[in-house]
Chain A
Amino acid sequence: MLELRVARKVGRIDLRVDFSVGRETVLIAGPNGAGKTSLLRLLLGVVEPESGRIALDGRLLFDAEARVDVPVEQRRLGYLPQDYALFPHLDVLQNVTFGLLALGRTERVRRATGWLERLGAAQLSRRSPGELSGGERQRVALARALAREPQALLLDEPFASLDAVARRDLRAALRGWLAEWQLPALIVSHDAADAVLGDRIFVLEAGRVIQRGTIDELRRAPASDFVAELFAATEPRAP
C-alpha cells in the first residue's frame, strides 16, 4: 500500500494530493502541465514536498513533521521515465544488473537473465541500448526496475515514445504483467487509450486530483471537460 499526502509548489503549479494505492494499478491522467511528472518526482524523493507524508507498506518514506526524508536510493521504488533512461554506456545485461550490487556475481546475472526472459528480452542481453527498438527498450527498462524487487512501480508516459503497433502490443503485455506482479503501480499518461491499464483512474488537473474512479465511472459522470474529452473516444471497458 502506497499512501501519499503531500503539498508542494512546483513552478506555477500548486501540487496538493492525497491518495493511497493498494495492490492495484492507478492511472494518473491529466493535461500537460497538471503536475503529473512533478508528482512522480515527489514520490521518488528527487523533489522534497513542503509538507505531508509518504508511506509505502507501512514504511515511512517522507514525513515533514517527523523530519523523515528517505533518500531516493533507499525508497525501493521502480521507476520508468518516459524515454526509459537505459544507461547508454552499458549493455542490456549490465543495465539490468546495475541495481543488483548487493548480490554475488553469479546470482546477479541469474536474476537479471531471469527477468529479461520473463519480459521476452533475453536474446538482447549483449546488445547496446542504442541498437534497441523503443519496445525492446521498455522491456529492458522494466526488467531492470523489477529485478530489484521494488515495492511499487512508477511509470511516466510508458508508451509516449513508441509507434502505434508497439504501443498496442506492449500495452496489452503490460496489462498482463501488472496483473501478475500485484504491485502498487502508478502510471502517468495523457493518452486515453492507456486507461485500460488502470484499475482506477485519478484525474489530475492544476495540481489537484479532481476525480477518481474506474474508467466507466469517469465516462458516466466526467468531472471536467478534460475528462469528458479524454474518454469520449474510448470504448467501454470489457467486463
Chain B
Amino acid sequence: MRVRGASLWSLAQLFTSALLVAFLLLPIVGLVATLSWEELIGGLRNPLLIPALRLSLITTASSLSIVVILGTLLAWRIARVPGRISRWMEAIAQVPAVIPPAVAGVGLLLAFGRRGLFGAWLSAHGLGLSFTTPAVVMAEAFVSAPFFVQAAIASFRRVDENLLVVASTLGASPFRVFLRVAVPLSAPGLIGGAAMSWARSLGEFGATLLFAGNLTGRTQTLPLAVYTAMESDLRGAQALSLVMVAVAFAVLLLLRRFAPGAPAAAMQVDRA
C-alpha cells in the first residue's frame, strides 16, 4: 500500500508540475511559432519599433543606474543599522512591489504631476515632469526598485560581520569597508538583483502609461509600443514582443556567463 501511495503521489506531482511548466511555456511558444519569417520581417519594419527600442534601452539604463546607486546605499544602511527607522525604510522600499502598476501611475501623477503635491513647485522651476522621458525613468525606477533593494539587503546581511570588524581594525574607514569588503562579497546578489530589477523596468507598462503617457519617441517604451501596435497590427505587436523576449534572454545569458551565481542569489531574497 505504501509503495502504491508513494508512486501515486509522485505521479500526481509529475502531472501538476508538467501542467504548470506547460502553462508557463506555451505563451512563449505561441509568440514564436505562430509567426512566419516574412511576417516577422514585416513586423520588424513597424515604424514604432526603433524609437521604442531606443527609448526602452535609454530609460531602463537610467532607471537601473538610479536604483543601483541609491538602492545599494539604502540597502547597506538597512542591513547595518538595526532599529525602527531601518525597519520602516525596508517596509516602504517594498511597497511598490505589492501595489498594482496602474495605482503606482496614479500615485506618481498625484505626487509629481502638474497638479500633484510637488507638481506646482516643479512646474514653477521649469521641471514639469508628467508626459516626459524623465517621467518614464521615474515610473520604471519606482516599480523596479524593490527588486534590487530586497536582493541587496539580503546579500549584505549574508556578509560575515567579522570580516567587516576585521577590516575596520585594519584601519579601513566605514566607506572603504563598504566598498572594498561588503560590495565585492555581495556582488553576485547585487548583480542578480540588478538583473531582476532591470527586467521589471523593461516590462513596465501601467505606471508609465498613466504617468508618462504614450508618445512615440518620448514616452512610448517597448511594452507601450506593443500595446499600440495591437490596435492595428497583431503581427507587428508580435514582432515587437519577440524583440523584447530576445533582449531579455540576451541579458539572462550574459548574466549566466559573467556572474554565474547571480540569478540564484537574487532569488534568495526571503532567506535572510
Contacts and interface: CB of A to CB of B under 8 A. Distances in A.
A98 B170 contact: yes
Given A85-B160, A89-B184, A79 B169 contact: yes
A193 B162 CA distance: 25
A73 B185 contact: no
A114 interface: no
Contacts of A98: 167, 170, 172, 180
Given A81-B162, A98-B172, A89 B167 contact: no
A168 to B, nearest CB: 25
B164 to A, nearest CB: 9
Interface in A130-159: 144-145, 148, 150
Contacts of B181: 87
B179 to A, nearest CB: 12
A145 B169 contact: yes
Interface string B148-161: 00000000000010
Contacts of A87: 163, 167, 181, 185
Interface string B163-180: 101111111111010001
Range of interface residues on chain A?
Answer: 20 to 34
A145 B168 CA distance: 11
Contact of A78 (B168, B169, B176): B169
Given A87-B181, A89-B184, A148 B170 contact: yes
A215 interface: no
Contacts of A77: 169
A82 B168 CA distance: 16
B185 A89 contact: yes
Interface residues of B, number: 18
B163 A73 contact: no
A99 B171 contact: yes
A72 B185 contact: no
B169 to A, nearest CB: 4
A54 interface: no
Contacts of A101: 171-172, 176
Given A87-B181, A89-B184, A89-B185, A73 B162 contact: no
A89 B183 CA distance: 11
Contacts of B160: 83, 85
B6 to A, nearest CB: 41
Contact of A72 (B162, B163, B169, B184): B169
Nearest to A96: B170
A75 interface: yes
A73 B172 contact: yes
A78 B170 CA distance: 7
Contacts of B166: 79, 81, 85
B165 A73 contact: no
Given A89-B185, A99-B170, A83 B165 contact: no
A72 B165 contact: yes
A20 to B, nearest CB: 21
A46 interface: yes
Interface of A: 41, 44, 46, 71-75, 77-79, 81-83, 85, 87-89, 98-99, 101-102, 144-145, 148, 150
List 7 A-B pairs, minimum CB-CB distance, nearest first. A99-B170, A72-B168, A85-B162, A81-B162, A79-B169, A85-B166, A89-B184
Given A71-B168, A87-B163, 13 more contacts: A44-B168, A44-B169, A46-B165, A73-B170, A81-B166, A82-B162, A85-B166, A89-B185, A98-B180, A99-B171, A101-B176, A148-B170, A148-B171
13 contacts: A41-B165, A72-B165, A72-B169, A73-B169, A73-B171, A73-B173, A79-B165, A85-B160, A87-B163, A87-B167, A89-B185, A102-B171, A145-B170
